[in-house]
Amino acid sequence: MRSTIGASVLTLALTVPVQGCAQDDDGPGSNGDTGAVAAAAVSGGLSMQEPMNRLTPEEEAAGWKLLFDGTLAGWRGYRREGIPAGWGVRDGALVFTPGRGGGTLITVDRYADFELALEWKIGEGGNSGIFYRATEDEVAPYWTGPEMQVLDNEGHPDGRRPVTSAGSNYALHAPTRDVTRPVGEWNEVRIVARGPQVEHWMNGTRIVAYELWTDEWRAMVEASKFREWPGYGMAPAGHVGLQDHGDPVWFRNIRIRTF
């Protein structure tokens, strides 16, 4: 499903600071070159064509790196050396199957400022998430790493509240609108983190934008369940993580570039 993404299309220079909570943006000119990316995605840019899990020459020239090449190389379990038994590869996707041994999957490498792009799909009533800048200093990745929610909005109770729905910065920043595709279909997402500025994109639309470490952000954390974990969201670098929440979930075309 992935078309060629040229270096000129995917240049993303977050030159305009994003303040506060989520902002909807699916038109050009909104945030440096970000509008061009959104326009490309809306016109078919961020979808994938065969072969999956490969980079085009243009992507390689733009600095992209595969995080998933059809194998589990470069991944391990959270706070463990091996791969949790529930994670495997099937039909070109990185898949979690419940009942086989659980645990969040994380990248071996750590990332500070980056753009992460991938596709996910979830089963009926399913729940998962994508962690970023997670450290292994605590017993669970969500004690330190913010999470982009992966969810069947129609079939899971969390979908009833925007702040915990698919694409949210879980429990803190709601997406500006629901742009998820029907359950069982692939959703194309990106997470862009540059210093304190973070954006979530889904299916060509920017749905969340927020700034870490401000007084407003600290107040939101203090009013949430994350107040119990003082390290939440504070790390300038950390692992990318794919959450085991006990439900089947699929990921593919996982790639990253650093700033």
pTM of the model: 0.82
Mean pLDDT confidence for 141-151 = 98
pLDDT for 44 beyond 90: no
| 217 inside domain | yes
- CA distance linking residue 149 with residue 175, whole number of Å: 10
| 178 inside domain | yes
Mean pLDDT confidence for 45-50 = 45
Q: Tens digit of pLDDT for each residue in 149-177?
A: 999 999 999 999 999 999 999 999 999 99
- CA distance linking residue 128 with residue 106, whole number of Å: 13
Q: Tens digit of pLDDT for each residue in 86-95?
A: 999 999 999 9
Domain enclosing residue 231, as ranges: 19-258
Which tops the pLDDT comparison, 239 or 38?
239
Of 39-53, 96-110, 176-190, minimum mean pLDDT range: 39-53
Q: Tens digit of pLDDT for each residue in 208-233?
A: 999 999 999 999 999 999 999 999 99
The percentage of the chain sitting over the pLDDT mark of 70, rounded to a whole number, equals: 80
Tokens of 61: 């020239």
Q: Which residues face 199 on adjacent strands?
A: 192, 209
| 11 inside domain | no
pLDDT of residue 37: 39
* Band of pLDDT at residue 55, cut at 50, 70 and 90: very high
Phi-psi region of 17 (alpha: psi -120 to 50; beta: other; left: phi over 0): beta
Q: Which of 2-11, 20-29, 237-246 has the highest mean pLDDT?
A: 237-246
* Domains in the chain, number: 1
Tokens of 69: 């090449």
* Band of pLDDT at residue 62, cut at 50, 70 and 90: very high
Query: Is 75 strand, coil or helix?
Result: strand
Residue 111 has φ and ψ, to the nearest 5°, of -135, 145
pLDDT for 28 beyond 80: no
pLDDT of residue 255: 98
* Band of pLDDT at residue 25, cut at 50, 70 and 90: low
Nearest Cα to Cα of residue 170 among 120, 130, 206, 141: 130
CATH of the domain at 196: 2.60.120.560
pLDDT for 31 beyond 90: no
* Band of pLDDT at residue 99, cut at 50, 70 and 90: confident
| 6 inside domain | no
Residue given tokens 């595709």 in the structure block: 181
Which tops the pLDDT comparison, 147 or 12?
147
| 87 inside domain | yes
| 9 inside domain | no
User: Cα-atom radius of gyration of the chain, to the nearest Å?
Assistant: 17
The pLDDT mean for the chain works out to: 86
pLDDT for 45 beyond 80: no
| 123 inside domain | yes
Mean pLDDT confidence for 125-145 = 97
* Alpha-carbon distances, residue 118 vs 18, 81, 155 (angstroms): 23, 24, 22
| 233 inside domain | yes
pLDDT for 46 beyond 80: no
